[in-house]
Every structure is written in C-alpha cells, then in structure tokens.
Amino acid sequence: MLHKQFAISALPSSIEADLRHKIDTKTKPLGSLGELEHIAFKLGKIQQTLTPDVSKPKMIVFAADHGVVAQGISLFPQEVTPQMVMNFLMGGAAVSVFCEQHNVPLRVVDVGVNAELAPHPLLGARKVAFASQDFSQQAAMTSQQVALAIQAGVDEANMAIDAGTNLLMFGEMGIGNTCVSSCMMAALIAVSAADSTGRGTGLDQAGVSHKAQVIEQSLVRAEQETGQTRSSWSAQTLAEQLGGFEILAMAGAMLQSAQRQTAFVVDGFICTVALLFAQKVAPNVSDYAIFAHQSNEKAHKMLLDQFNADPILSLNLRLGEGSGAILAYPLIQSACVFLNKMASFESAGVTDSK
C-alpha cells in the first residue's frame, strides 16, 4: 500500500567522474578535506550538478504524543510535549536558537500533540489525533491514521520545496518517542528490545530495563494480534502496530524529499529510525540522506551501521529536536563552498603532485 505512493529511483552515476575530477583537482592533497569531500560529492550527485547549493535550508520539527507513556517509560510527563512545542515557537529551545544563529527558517508541525495548540505563524496544524494509542495494550493507530501521518510529512516537504528550499532538515518532539523508536527498530532490523533500548531523556538502569520489558511485551502483543512474526510485517502493519505520528511524518517527508530529488539531513536516533522505516517503504530513499551526527543513545551506532553511514559529528548529543542536524549545517555549507569556490591547480597556477 505505502510503496505505491513513492517511486524513488537510484541516483544516476553519470556525473560521478566529473565530480570526482573537480574535487581531486582542487589545490589540496588528494582526500585531504576528508568528510567534506564526501558531502560535496553526495550533494553534487543528488542535485546532479558540479555546483551544489544549500543556501535555502529549512528545519521542520514534527511533534506528537504517545499512549505508551502510560507505562512509565519516560522521566518526563506527557504535558512536556506541548510545553516544548511552545518553547520552540517562542524561540527558546536549542533547535530554535541554533536555527536563529545560522539563519535557517524553523517550522514546527503538530501531528499528534495531546493538547489544543493556539495558531502561530511557525506552527503547522496537521493533527492526526491527540496522541497514539498505548501499543503495549493495542495497535498504536489505524490504517487511516498511518496515511494521514505520512501525508503530513509529504505535504510539509512539498510546501518547503515548492517555496525554493534546497536542503531539508528534520527534528522531532514527543515524550516517549525514544521508546517508540526503539520498538520500531527492534521490529525493523530484528534486534532484541534490550539492544535497541537506551536512556532516552535520562533513565537509570532500572528505567531502561523496564522500558525494554514494555517494548518486548508490545512486540509480542503485536505478533499475537497480527498472527505474523515481526520479521514478516509490512511497513503498513508495523506502522499501525508500533508507530508514532511524528516518526511517520518524518518518514513521509524524507520519502517525498527523495522523490523530488532534494537532499535531507538526518538528525539522531529517532530521525534515523524514521529513515529506516522510510527505507522499508522505498529502498533508495537513503541515497538522498546526509547523516548529521552519532548520538549518545546506545543503539544509534547500530542504526548508522545499517546505512554504512559516516556521520559528520560525534558530540555525545542526545537531545533530539533536530539539534544535531542544525549543528552540522555549517559544515554542509562548507562542503559546497570548497567545491564551488576553491581554486584548482590549473586555475591557481599551482603545480600538482602528479
């Protein structure tokens, strides 16, 4: 069902030789700009140009609540989600101040916050429901809600790209969403709940163990309800049983970004789970992803390895919100600057090492 909406082709290789030549003939030793060279190459390939441009970025933070919070899997109560959404809108959150620092427009999208939010110029009102259901007891959402959540992300990506955005960055907010992401991860790549579960917002070891138990119970409940093992679930079934509205919206935005040949920046653990889900829908979606950082959430390295990803930063972040994505943005800019403006050996009259 889901895969029919997205037709994402693998990136063509025709420009690769010209990009490699341009990068390798800059006035520097081969490979000496390290990861910046990989970013420049990837952006050039995504945009199919020797002069990639990320001068019109946008940060979109998707927010929602989760019924599984009733099982005591988070240090913070659910009312923190709408409070933090207001903090984003008022400019007081980490992602808000970093976006202001780097002159990146910020939009916050309500896809399932358990509160009525007043209209605001920066707020996208796309509420699917007032939180998902407690997936330890029943399916997280209906098939219609899955479609609405994914469409929210598609519509947000379209709106940004139609307005000229050439680099999308995604973040999330939702108390309990590391639990949801860990549960989705366990189903998507067949790891144990213990291996996919981390501290989230700061749980102690007892809290982490309890969260892992809730996740395992939820997976078993979903297998019994569907009559299928988790490894055989379709993307649709997995989303219905275990999804979070903001995670599915991020996945929808990633899928649509890729469909429209627009690069996007993957933030931390939760955002990477959204990409993993998106990849189950359309395998080529990760060709358009730039990985911002490796977070301090213990399972994130395992997730990054699924994509053979070499993230730009490793700062022990575990905040979410898109904070790692916006912090990586200046380096993504620098990758374009060196490719577009740095002299070649020939243009500068410098003798090459050859």
pLDDT digits (tens, 9 = 90+) for 205-238: 898 899 999 999 999 999 999 999 999 999 999 9
Nearest to 98 by CA among 265, 322, 264: 322
In the predicted structure, residue 257 carries a pLDDT above the cut 60: yes
Q: What is the DSSP secondary-structure string of 184-236?
A: HHHHHHT--HHHH---TTT--HHHHHHHHHHHHHHHHHHHHHHTS-GGG--HH
Q: Which of 109-113, 198-202, 285-289 has the lowest mean pLDDT?
A: 198-202
If one compares 5 and 54, the residue with the highest pLDDT of the two is 54
Q: What is the pLDDT of residue 1?
A: 62
pLDDT digits (tens, 9 = 90+) for 68-86: 999 999 999 999 999 999 9
The band of 298, judged by pLDDT with boundaries at 50, 70 and 90, is confident
Q: What is the pLDDT of residue 221?
A: 98
In the predicted structure, residue 3 carries a pLDDT above the cut 80: no
Domain-wise residue ranges, the chain: 56-326
In the predicted structure, residue 354 carries a pLDDT above the cut 70: no
| CA separation for the pair 92, 87 (Å, rounded) | 5
Mean pLDDT for the chain? 96
| CA separation for the pair 63, 196 (Å, rounded) | 22
As a whole-number percent, the residues of the chain with pLDDT over 90 amount to: 92
pLDDT digits (tens, 9 = 90+) for 77-115: 999 999 999 999 999 999 999 999 999 999 999 999 999
Determine the CATH number of domain 56-326: 3.40.50.10210
Give 184's strand partners: none
Q: What is the pLDDT of residue 4?
A: 73
**DSSP alpha helices (H): ranges in the chain?**
16-24, 35-47, 80-89, 94-101, 143-162, 177-189, 193-196, 205-226, 235-242, 245-259, 269-281, 300-306, 323-341, 345-348
Catalytic member of 240, 246, 297, 321:
321
Predicted TM-score (pTM) of the model is: 0.96
If one compares 268 and 349, the residue with the highest pLDDT of the two is 268
In the predicted structure, residue 161 carries a pLDDT above the cut 70: yes
To the query of whether residue 321 is one of the catalytic residues in this protein, the response is yes
In the predicted structure, residue 303 carries a pLDDT above the cut 90: yes
| CA separation for the pair 245, 242 (Å, rounded) | 10
Query: Per the structure block, which two tokens stand in for 25?
Result: 């003939």
